Amino acid sequence: MSLDIVGDDLKVELPTGESVRFAHLDYAASAPCVAAAAQAVGELLPRYGSVHRGTGVRSSASTIAYELARDVVAEFVGAGPEHEVIFTRNTTDALNLLARALPEGTVTIVFDGEHHANLLPWPNQLRLPAPGSPAEALESLEEALERTGNPALVTVTGASNVTGELWPITEIAALAHRYGARLAVDAAQLAPHRPVGLADADYLAFSGHKLYAPFGAGVLAGRSDWLDAAEPYLRGGGASAAVGDHPGDLEWATGPARHEGGTPNLLGAVAIAAVCAALITADRDALHAEEQRLLKRLRDGLPDTVREVSLFGPDHPRVGIVSIAVDDPAGTAQRLARDHGIGVRAGQFCAHPLVRRLTGDATGSCATTPGLLRISFGLGSTDDDIDRVLAALRSY
Ligand code: PLP
C-alpha cells in the first residue's frame, strides 16, 4: 500500500493573494497521514464493529482486523513469543503504562535531555545530565548502573525530538544488559525515520500520529513478564477475565488485554499496522537516502544569522529534524506560516531542560526561555519545501 501523503497538495493563500502549496515542516509534532493508513481505515469502516465483544459479521471482522494489526506491528518491531504488543493512545500513554508496570523497587535511569513523555512518568528516578557525546552517555550510564544494582530500567530516546540526533541504542542496550538492567526506547521520533526493533531494546514506544497514521493510537511493545505481572493499566472490561461478587474477587486477563481495558481503538491500530506493513515492504535505504539528501540541503543552506543546535556535534547522525536558535522563534514561526505558507514549530518542544541547555539559558525559567525554531520533515517532503523555508529565513 502507498506511502503517498494524503493532502499533499493542500493550498494556502498568502497575504499577497498568491495561493501556494502548504509546506508542512512540522512532522516531528504530527506527520501527515499516508494513503495506506487512510485506505485501511476506509476499507474497514463499512464492517466496523466491536472488538472481542459480540457476534456477527461486524464484530468478527473487527476482531480479526484488530488482532491482525497486532501481528503486523509485531513483525514491524521484530517481536517474538517473549514479547507483547499493546495498543495505547500514543507514546506518552505507552511510557506511562510501562512506568506503572515496573516491579517494585525498580530504579529508572534517565537522561534529562528526554522529551517530557520519557522524563516525567518514571518512579525511583536516577536522572543524569544530558551527555555531550555518545561516549559520555555510556560513561555516565555505566557509573549509574554500577551504583544502582538490580533491577533497573534505562530509558532513552531513539532520536531526539529537538536535535534529531540518534542515540547509541545498540551500545546502551549492551551496557544495560551487562548490568542486568533493561532498556526502554522512546521511538516516537525514531520509528518514522529508521527501522526499529526489539533486538536491542526490551521495550519500544511510539505514536501513530508521528508514523503517518493519525487515528489516535500508539504502541508499547516489549517483554511480557513485567507486563503480565503488573496491575492492569486501566481497570475495567476487557482487562478482567472473571469478576466475582466481592471487590477483591476477580481475575485479571494476561497478555495485551490486561493493559487494554475498555473498547480498543480499532481504527487507530489498523492505521498503524497499514503504515508498518507499507514500511516493511518499502525500500528503507532509499527513503533514508532521500531524507538525508533533504537534511543536507537544509543544513547547508541555513543562513549565518541562525545557529543550529546539537548535543553530540554537527557530524553526528540524525533524522530529518533541525532546531535553530533565532531571535524570536515564536514570531518567526508565525511569519513563516502567515507570509510563506510554511508550518514549523517554535518553543521548547516538551523538552524544557534540554532546550534550556542548548540555548545556553541553563538558569532561565521555562517562562523566560524563548526556545528554538524546529524544522522537521519526512515522507513526501520536497526540495521546494526546504528551499522555501531557507529563502524565508534568509529574508529576515
Ligand atoms: N517522545 C518524543 C521523542 C516525542 O517527540 C514526543 C512527541 O513529540 C513524545 C515522546 C510524545 O508523543 P505523544 O505526544 O504522541 O504521546
Segment 185-216, tens digit of pLDDT: 999 999 999 999 999 999 999 999 999 999 99
Q: Tell me the per-residue pLDDT of 137-155, one tens digit each, with 9 for 90 and over.
A: 999 999 999 999 768 999 9
Which ligand 1 atom sits nearest the alpha carbon of residue 93? 16
Looking from the CA of residue 161, the nearest atom of ligand 1 is: 5
pLDDT tens per residue, range 230-266: 999 999 999 999 999 999 899 999 999 999 999 999 9
Cell numbers 495561493 label which residue? Answer: 19
C-alpha 362/C-alpha 327 separation (Å) is 17
Residue 91 CA: nearest ligand 1 atom is 16
Q: Whose Cα sits closest to atom 8 in ligand 1?
A: 29
Residue 362 in this model has a pLDDT that exceeds 70: no
Q: Catalogue all structural domains in the chain, each as residue range(s) with its CATH number.
A: 11-25+283-394 (3.90.1150.10), 37-281 (3.40.640.10)
Q: How far is the CA of 80 from the centre of ligand 1 (A)?
A: 25
pLDDT above 70 covers what percent of the chain? 98
**Dihedral sign computed on CA atoms, order 24, 28, 34, 38:** negative
Residue with CA nearest ligand 1 atom 5? 161
Residue nearest to atom 12 of ligand 1 (CA): 91
CA distance linking residue 116 with residue 106, whole number of Å = 20
- Is the pLDDT assigned to residue 269 strictly greater than 60? yes
Q: Pick the atom of ligand 1 nearest to 186's CA.
A: 1
Residue 320 has which C-alpha cell?
530529518
